[in-house]
Amino acid sequence: MTTIDLTIDKDRRARAIQRTREQNIIIPTFAQMKDPSKIPAQVKEELKSIGLWDVHPRNLFRITWHNEPKASGGGFGGVNYLELPKSLTGVDARIIVLIGKWFPTGAHKVGAAFGCLVPRLVTGQFDPTTQKAVWPSTGNYCRGGAYDSALLACDSIAILPEGMSRERFEWLSHVSGEIIATPGSESNVKEIFDKVAELRRTRPDMPRPYRVPLVPLFPLLGVVFAVYLMKDLPGITWVRFLIWLAVGLVIYLLYGRRAAGAKA
């Protein structure tokens, strides 16, 4: 099993510690993120005057499923979720949907990005004084990475398709250090990683926070297991899937035409 590399670079870690002290940054432990009752009272008091989306280092403590559903000044409570009724799902099993809206940036990917960057920052594998964190994504992951980087006083590069919403690019322009728009829209994943490969050749010093181990084995295993689970789905599930897929494609194509017209 692949584990997190905790090899320490003392010189880089010393510079990272100095940067966090200068910026008054406190990095929460994973135990505090799992159980907000362990968060210091002083931090909770500070959060009462901080908005959920504010680019403020104390919002690192809000990278959790336990945020109170408030836009500003919220504390912590139970996990935010929604249970889908049987009348909608058509199955007896209880289906629970976790709600990521009450994360900073409005998406839980801010947590995934945090888990990639912070281990490298605290071990000195990432030097915030000289390096940039690269966040390739079709949307929320690079947004979460740029936000985490801003909170941790790290420079960042967000890579995402040019066809994503103008609101997303506008938001990133205030948070990310650099934005690279690749051709296409949300389905054009290859173009994103082509750009990452190009940066690997032209700017090899930049760390890549997210790495998939054992490529291409892990991606292929993911496809195999997905097909295995899908083969036992009842026919009505496939019918519903195809209906909603058609609806989604219509909305996607109409939005794409409108966005293209607006850019023209």
What are 87-128's pLDDT values in tens digits?
Answer: 888 888 999 999 999 999 988 899 999 988 999 999 999 999
62: DSSP letter: G
222-248 burial: b if 16+ Cβ within 10 Å, else e: eeeeeeeeeeeeeeeeeeeeeeeeeee
Residue 7 CB coordination number (10 Å): 8
> Token pair for residue 161?
């398709």
Structure confidence at residue 13 (pLDDT):
94
Bridge partners (DSSP) listed for residue 160? 181
Ramachandran bin of 237, using left for φ above 0, alpha for ψ from -120 to 50, beta for the remaining angles? alpha
- Per the model's pLDDT, the better-predicted residue between 2 and 49 turns out to be 49
Structure confidence at residue 182 (pLDDT):
92
70: DSSP letter: -
Structure confidence at residue 264 (pLDDT):
47
Per-residue pLDDT at 2 exceeds 70: no
Enter the CATH code of domain 10-202. 3.40.50.1100
Q: What is the mean pLDDT of residues 196-203?
A: 84
